[in-house]
Structure 1
Amino acid sequence: MRMYYFHRAVFAVLAVFSAAAAWAIDDATVAMTPVQVAPHSYFVQGQSALGSAANQNFISNAGFVVTDTSVVVIDALGSPALARKLLQEIRRITPKPVSHVLVTHYHADHIYGLQAFKDAGATIVAHRLGQEYLNSDTARLRLQASRQELFPWIDDSTRLVPADQWLDGATDLAIGGVQFQIRPAGPSHSPEDLVFYLPAERVLFAGDLVFRGRVPFVGQADSKHWITALDQLLKFDAQVIVPGHGPQSTSAKEDLTLTRDYLAHLRRAMGEAARNLEPFDEAYRKADWSRFEHLPLFNAANRMNAYNTYLLMEQERD
């Protein structure tokens, strides 16, 4: 019996130590520095890497806007710990509460932090099609895998959080004296893509329609409409574009071109193969990737991007 209680005490101490160690890692290994891109607009830049326990899934960007009355956050990052860290960074700039979180799309690296903002009292706004993802096997299985791959930052307490306000189309929101123009841009990177434009600041939060300085993650994207959506982004009078991944852009046309040209190249190479009934492996081997192969995450993402585009082009052919 004494041994039983001894083991229980040891496990309790280890549990406390593990929790303390996790928070120590949280403070020590993930740098997060807000970058001011306009008088009231900021963003934090995720790492150009795959999500891992070492980076706490800090692989995407999040923005925030300080209004007269509150703070509006754009995207919630890839873990609750990251969201809490972002809240701490916001508090270094302003004591105002976070009143809203605007979601560009429901991919894991942008929404696993939502529960921290929800617990802090924020209202979550997203496109209605995000409900399909939340109720899908894909979302359930992804969270299940993340609890293994990203532990302890994603664990059994991590939950998928629905929006409080689901949008169907173009919407303008006035929050604390700041006008947010919310425009659907999907189906592109995802069915529920939204972009957020602040005309007074001339800042566009573009989500994952724009990957700057790295190979995009295409997944099950509608690349044809994605290219059209990128052309539409140029119609905003944006001085600064905050992408979903990578540093801010002050040269919209130049920086949108990389994502657009990569998608177009995928469609040309894989489209020709699909039309000619050419096997994927042969088509991939023959394709010229020289313009893009130097980019970060090319080896991790390009083959899967090409294969998904090959399947998409087969469907478009039919």
Structure 2
Amino acid sequence: MYHLPIPRFVAACRQSILSLLLLPMAVLATAEPVPIDIEMSLKRVSEHVYYAQGMPGMATDNKGFISNAAAILTDQGVIVVDALGSPSLGQRFLEEIRGLTDQPIKAVIVTHYHADHIYGLQVFEDLGAEIIAPGGFQDYLDAPTAEERLEERRFSLSPWVNEDTRLVRPDRVIVEQTELRLGDVTLEIRYLGPAHSDGDLAVLVRPDQVLISGDLIFEGRIPFTGSADTRRWLEALERLDNAGLQALIPGHGPAAREPAAAVSSTLDYLRYTREVMSDAVDQMTPFAEAYEAADWSRFEKLPAFAATHRRNAYGIYLSLEQEMLGD
């Protein structure tokens, strides 16, 4: 029987032990998402652009499928925009793309880092896709709330968000207008800075003239403002050039064939709510009194009004107080 020299034997043992220790991490990194039984189909918007439309609702409604994601198909590969709210949804989205093309997924553009758009990223990262995100993503990922939110979703969206779900950092960060070309498609990636989130992007697909807006636009429902800087959000919408657009895919809600109307709807909501809360802050009226006295009838029939609007108004009230103090 052949025996290894002692130094080589020890080295081999160490290597074997190291391999065993590392095995669970490798398994974790490549764990298959838990299958999810959800109704999802890709709707065609233009020659190259398709999207999956989430249902209206709060973050954990409809098994977390409440946001949109888009796929841009070319003869040289696919670019995805946003990745949905769980690895299981990301995998389901990928399966729908595979029903249309077997071209490789080249990149995922993340319009902003919020949980309902990023937990599916690991599915595409594991395929080798480049992850592209706006500057400001780190304000979300590096804050304790990112891990806290993930822990909460491991409970509220179990088993589709679980211990195998990880936060994915981008490979490329966009901080200015950038063009990305693939096949016969050019993407104009517009960096909008902090608005709805700590950093937002919109993507114009040419020659289709389809704008993918992320959560700058909520179509057919009440926006979620959360901790958004609504002043900058308004400014971003007012600067948004929608001339010549054929369609707009929002972060939530159906694609709009009249993009100007979709932009106007979100603008109207933000402007009016800020005006009402601004008057209250100027007059030093308590929030509850100002909220009850306001006429919200123009919005109250929209989906998510009951669940979202009062909280939006309160957040805007607090932010206006900070603006008044120059904070």
Q: What is the CA–CA distance in structure 2 between the aligned matches of 1:264 and 1:225, rounded to whole Å?
A: 12
Instruction: Give the 5 Å matches for 1:5-24.
Output: 23=35
Residue 278 of structure 1 aligns to a residue whose secondary structure is coil
Q: Does 1:41 align with 2:49?
A: yes
Please show how residues 288-303 of structure 1 align to structure 2 within 5 Å. Answer: 288-303=295-310
The question of 1:31 aligning with 2:39 is answered yes
Instruction: Report Cα offsets for 1:11-56 as digits up to 9, x if no partner.
Output: xxxxxxxxxxx63xx23xx11110111101100100101132x622
Aligned counterpart for 1:171 among listed residues 170, 175, 178: 178
Determine the C-alpha separation between the residues in 2 that align with 1:68 and 1:115. 24
Q: How far apart are 1:235 and its partner, in Å?
A: 4.1
Counterpart of 2:222 in structure 1: which amino acid?
Answer: V
2:58 to 27, 50, 63: 50
**What letter corresponds to residue 314 of structure 2 in structure 1?**
Y
Q: Which moved more, 1:142-151 or 1:71-80?
A: 142-151
Q: Deviations over 1:119-146 (max 9, x none)?
A: 1111100112101211111211111111
* Separation in 1, partners of 2:48, 2:178: 21
CA distance, structure 2, for counterparts of residue 235 and residue 152 of structure 1:
40
The residue that corresponds to 2:14 in the other structure is: none
Cα deviation, 1:230-274, whole Å, max 9, x if unaligned, reads 122234531100000000011122121111111011101111111
Q: Which whole-Å CA distance do the structure 1 matches of 2:97 and 2:242 have between them?
A: 31
SS of residue in 2 equivalent to 1:116: helix
2:247 to 234, 237, 240: 240
Superposed, which structure 2 residues align to 1:90-105 within 5 Å?
90-105=97-112
State TM-score, norm by structure 1.
0.89
CA contact (8 A) 1:234 1:253 kept: no
Map of 2:137 onto structure 1 = 130
Of the structure 1 ranges 221-230 and 121-130, higher mean CA displacement relative to structure 2 is found in 221-230
Distance 2:115 2:293 in 1: 33
Larger Rg: 2
- Residue aligning to 1:220: 227
Unaligned runs of 5+ in 1: 1-21
Instruction: Note if contact 2:174-2:191 (Cα within 8 Å) is conserved in structure 1.
Output: no
1:147 and 2:124 equivalent? Answer: no
Aligned length in residues? 292
1-structure distance, mates of 2:196, 2:104: 31
CA-CA distance at 1:169 after TM superposition: 1.2
Q: CA RMSD in A?
A: 1.2
Q: Which amino acid aligns with 1:35?
A: K
Identical positions, percent: 46
Aligned positions of 1:252-267 closer than 5 A: 252-267=259-274
Q: Give distance in 2, aligned partners of 1:237 and 1:228.
A: 20
1:61-102 superposed Cα distances (whole Å, 9 cap, x missing partner):
000101121110000000000110111100110111111000
Whole-Å Cα distance in 2 between the matches of residues 254 and 55 of structure 1?
Answer: 27
Task: Quote how far apart the aligned CAs of 1:185 are.
Answer: 1.7
Does residue 214 of structure 2 align to residue 207 of structure 1?
Answer: yes
What is the alpha-carbon distance in structure 1 between the residues aligned to residue 313 and residue 219 of structure 2? Answer: 19
Query: Which amino acid in structure 1 is aligned with residue 89 of structure 2?
Result: L
User: Distance between the aligned counterparts of 1:151 and 1:287, measured in 2?
Assistant: 39
* Contact residue 234 and residue 252 of structure 1 kept, 8 A: no
Counterpart selection for 2:315 from 302, 308, 311? 308
1:265-290 deviations in whole A, cap 9, x for unaligned?
Answer: 11011111111111111111111110
